[in-house]
């Protein structure tokens, strides 16, 4: 696995938003598969449900987006991986201690960057400015995807 994508990046792939074009363009260039962990699954499903709540998409569009993601998982675009939760928690706490006060990153953003480290993935894909700064600060390759 060459890169780790945060859930915001994945949401942009599966439900059109301001970053969809950039996410799709990056996926064309990206080495595959990208890892998917339990946190992605929870956040992606919840994000799609929130988009229905906000009336940004319909329930039919939500289902189509989630099914499209499952199809990509089955076809090898993504690889479902297990991650040791205690290792993830320890790494997240370390990153929080070292960088939260200077970068202002949120807990969920830290968890994703910590997951990339625990999995040994060298690059990180995000549209979140603070998460991007954290990934760069710890030495991950983080292409400038910010729109």
CATH number assigned to the domain comprising residue 83 = 3.40.50.1010
Report if residue 142 sits inside a domain. Answer: no
The confidence score (pLDDT) of residue 146 equals: 62
Report if residue 145 sits inside a domain. Answer: no
Report if residue 143 sits inside a domain. Answer: no
Contact by Cβ (8 Å): 39, 112: yes
The confidence score (pLDDT) of residue 42 equals: 96
Tens of pLDDT along the chain (147 residues)?
A: 799 999 999 999 998 889 999 999 999 988 899 999 999 999 999 999 999 999 999 999 999 999 999 999 999 999 999 999 999 999 999 999 999 999 999 999 999 999 999 999 999 999 999 999 999 999 999 988 765
Q: Running DSSP on this structure, what letter comes out for residue 30?
A: S
Report if residue 144 sits inside a domain. Answer: no
Q: Reduced to 3 states, what is the DSSP secondary structure of residue 1?
A: coil
Report if residue 34 sits inside a domain. Answer: yes
* Cβ-Cβ contacts under 8 Å for 127 (sequence gap 6 or more): 8, 9, 12, 19, 22, 23, 145, 146, 147
Could you give the number of structural domains in the chain? 1
Report if residue 146 sits inside a domain. Answer: no
Range(s) of the domain holding residue 57: 3-137
pTM to 2 decimal places: 0.93
Report if residue 115 sits inside a domain. Answer: yes
Residue 67 belongs to what H/E stretch?
Answer: helix 59-74
Report if residue 35 sits inside a domain. Answer: yes
């Amino acid at each position: 696995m060459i890169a780790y994508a945060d859930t915001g990046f994945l949401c942009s792939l599966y439900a059109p938003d301001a970053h969809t074009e950039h996410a799709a363009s990056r996926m064309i260039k990206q080495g595959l598969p990208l890892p998917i962990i339990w946190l992605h699954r929870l956040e992606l499903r919840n994000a799609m449900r929130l988009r229905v709540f906000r009336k940004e998409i319909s329930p039919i569009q939500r289902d189509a987006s989630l099914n499209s993601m499952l199809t990509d998982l089955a076809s090898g675009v993504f690889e479902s991986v297990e991650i040791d939760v205690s290792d993830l928690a320890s790494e997240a706490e370390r990153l929080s201690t070292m960088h939260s006060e200077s970068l202002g990153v949120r807990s969920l953003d830290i968890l994703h960057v910590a997951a990339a480290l625990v999995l040994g993935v060298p690059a990180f894909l995000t549209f979140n400015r603070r998460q991007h700064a954290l990934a760069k600060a710890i030495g991950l390759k983080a292409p400038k995807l910010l729109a």
